[in-house]
Amino acid sequence: MVFTVPMGEHEVALRASIARAVDALAAPLHALVPARLSGDDYIQLVEEVESLGRIIDALRLRLAGDAESRSDGPIDTFGALGHASAADGLAALAGISVASATSRIHLGRAVTPSLTITGAETPAPHHHIAAAVEDGALGIEAAGVLVRELDGVARRVSPEILDEAERGLVLLAAGTHEHPPLRVDLVRMQASVFIARIDPDGARPKEQRARRKRRLRFGVETSEGLIPVSGLLAGEVGITLKNLVDAHRRSPTFADPDAADDVDVAVDADPRTLDEKRHDALAAIVGAASRAVDAPDLGGAAPAVIVTVTAEALEEPNGFGVIDGLATPVPVASIERLMDTRGHQIATLSPAGRILSLGSVQRCFIASQRRVITARDGGCIIPGCGIPAGWCEVHHVIPHRAGGPTHVDNGVLLCWGHHQKIDSGPWRISMPGGVPHVRGPGHHEWTYVTKARRWRPPLPATG
């Protein structure tokens, strides 16, 4: 039960001081032009504004911590205004989401003192965190991390140990004269270490619960022929994949000393977004895994993408085929790239659909050819691309449909991203004497590359 009393002199003075603070802040806000600040002034001002922000956060939490009692008491403050709940009312008043309001209310209750029926004040449930928040030493985000971690083990750990852990975590998070405050991600990490020490029996069930939630889902194909992917990866799996993608995306590149005047052009030659680069990195990783010697079999054969296309469609520039499992037609250019990488088998069908004959695998570069091409190219041959050979595909420079042979003198290494665009993008490839030459942004003359990935002086034009 909550008793409300008319506003006294203290409350009037409090509201007046807040109003004056708002007015006092308006002037420097309008006058602030960060670009005009020196480096030292900028750093100092960021720290001072953050200190001010933490004081504002403390006031927000104080008010939010009392929100639910306003709805549960005999006088429903928020209900009188037409709000369904305290969170709904706070969200409307503060201009935030209901989820944010709910989180703020929960955290506010954890760090806000409460009043007994006699009007006596009782300490906040997390009084060490509350004191740091009130002093402006701890912000909302860090306080929320500590409260969630400590509440998660409160039923299994003695109050004395929990109180000592809270005190130690606040000292680490808020900082002291000896060390600065921690970033929130480091606060989360330190809190996990503390919790594991004071609740060792809880770490294993937590890991087991997390592993039971692991999943990988493939959604329904979109109208554009894309496959939605979602899921939760086990920590070590996710980190491994992230590191692989980052390593692929950040592979070292080598500038062409003979194209210094066109460096900007060369750097800007890759128009892909970060998300597109991550996708292409994953495509290269999947491709490399499918080519591995110990890749798992499907029905006794290596995993394969089944494409159905007529011989006539392969000869048409605008022809298309169908990939088994996808409803969206696939253009011939994409089929050609798949055939470059994985080969093909010709199946002759009767008009009724009966299989009349099945040829052997053709066109795909075999392992020994790939090794020789790798020794020559070293990786993707496009200037500035650092993708290693193991993650590249072998491309027919002269297309197979144009009579190009499956021979090392007609094959070059391209990463998945460049292989997708080689027929329509800015780069061109030729093979005089069996040596890869490229021409494109920043390389207006035909240029060849060695395995060391350093560009040599241009040779006479070959066409």
What's the rounded Cα separation, in Å, for the pair 91 and 59? 16
Global pTM value: 0.49
Q: What is the mean pLDDT of residues 243-254?
A: 65
| Residue 434 DSSP one-character state | G
Give the residue from 116, 118, 93, 120 showing the smallest Cα distance to 104: 93
Going by pLDDT thresholds of 50, 70 and 90, the confidence category of residue 453 is: very low
Range of 120-134, 272-286, 370-384 with top mean pLDDT: 120-134
pLDDT tens profile 302-313? 556 677 777 777
Residue with tokens 């971690």: 149
pLDDT per residue as tens digits for the range 413-425: 998 888 888 877 7
Lowest mean pLDDT among 14-28, 55-69, 117-131, 371-385: 14-28
Instruction: Give the pLDDT score at 340.
Output: 63
Going by pLDDT thresholds of 50, 70 and 90, the confidence category of residue 297 is low
Q: Residue 447 — φ and ψ, nearest 5°?
A: -130, 145
pLDDT at 72: 76
Q: What whole-number percentage of the chain has pLDDT above 90?
A: 20
pLDDT at 84: 85
Specify the higher pLDDT residue, 432 or 76: 432
Mean pLDDT computed over 419-433: 84
- Give me the mean pLDDT over the 37-48 stretch: 90
Contact 91, 81 (CB under 8 A): no
Both tokens of residue 421? Answer: 């665009």
**pLDDT at residue 363 in the model:** 55
